[in-house]
Amino acid sequence: MRRKTRELKVGTVGVGGGSPISVQSMTNTNTADVNATVAQIKALEKAGCEIVRVAVPEMDAAGAIGRIKKEIRIPIIADIHFDWRLALKALEEGVDGLRLNPGNIGSGDRIKAVVKEAAARGVPIRIGVNAGSLEKDILSRYGHPKAEALVESAMRHIGILEDMDFRDIKVSLKASSVRMTIDSYRLLAQKVDYPFHIGVTEAGTLFSGTVKSSVGLGVLLSEGIGDTLRVSLTGDPVDEVRVGWEILKSLELRKRGINLVSCPTCGRIKLDCVSIALEVEKRLSHVEEPLNIAIMGCVVNGPGEAIGSDVGLAGGDGVGLIYVKGKPVKKVREEEAVDALIEEVSRVLKERSA
């Protein structure tokens, strides 16, 4: 059962309530470099990114948002720290969302100015609490970052916005510790009904970060916690989007692109499943239509998995049998297998669109 939350809009994308759990990422370009930032956002869009965040550390970056928005299709969020004027400029440029903590952008009058403008434009604010940047008094009281400290910080910032009658809020509670991240969201879920942006921050490189994010986000999502997500990886943000979608697909929360079922390999294998699976995954990475693909290399599970797929390959001893919608359609040599499978995928997709 998914946690019941308020719903808000980030541009055209619903977050919370009954909206699908959306996949986000963040650019790593200099936001003031419009061409580079637009190019990266378009790559993210192609991978399935539904909301994108950009860093706004200076006025040139804030002033570039309007030009960036004209070139992209997805909503854009400005990541603001410390300077209230950057938030006002981003709003003026037509940003779709703000990520800021109201307690660290200036005095009460300055916070009010930002909140008033965000409310007038219907722009939501994400309160983003990180274990690495907790307020000094909270950190002093708890001694070190822990779930209760993150929740206290979030409630403080929520209170500032609520006191100004602003409730177009979503919240994130991120730590590099998977356990602390999970515990923090669980605690806050008992206190508020605002939608949550979930993620394990500073998770690491593609390999380690994918493992940590999959565990942390998988636990939360399986408990119904989470309305939008970002997988934080050190590297190409396109990989963040790809991993985010795989997490949602694995829990059957969203469908997009191919679902690849491939043989884990063992001593019975007489087909190069590793090379075939990697090549198929690469060549079908552009597919957005949900499609189940099976690549199996032995007689134990191979035929059953292939039969249960939209398009499948089961083989051994240098040959393979191509299955389409559960029926064998073609016998091919191993070196022909990838091309033959791709050909059948193209045929299935054409039939669906006809």
Q: What is the pLDDT of residues 48-67, one digit of tens each?
A: 999 999 999 999 999 999 99
Q: For residue 308, what are the β-bridge partners?
A: none
Quote the pLDDT of residue 303: 66
The percent of residues above 90 in pLDDT, for the chain, comes to 68
| Span 214-251, pLDDT tens digits | 999 999 999 999 999 999 999 999 999 999 999 999 99
- Written out in words, the top-level CATH class of the domain with range 7-250 is alpha beta
Quote the pLDDT of residue 65: 97
Cα–Cα dist 221/324, whole Å: 32
Per domain, the residue ranges of the chain are 7-250, 258-353
| Span 96-155, pLDDT tens digits | 999 987 767 767 788 899 999 999 999 999 998 888 888 889 989 999 999 999 999 999
Quote the pLDDT of residue 326: 83
- 7-250 and 258-353 in the same fold: no
| Span 271-327, pLDDT tens digits | 788 888 999 999 998 889 999 998 887 666 666 666 778 998 887 778 888 999 888
Quote the pLDDT of residue 300: 63
Going 193 to 194 to 195 to 200, the CA torsion angle's sign is negative
- Written out in words, the top-level CATH class of the domain with range 258-353 is alpha beta
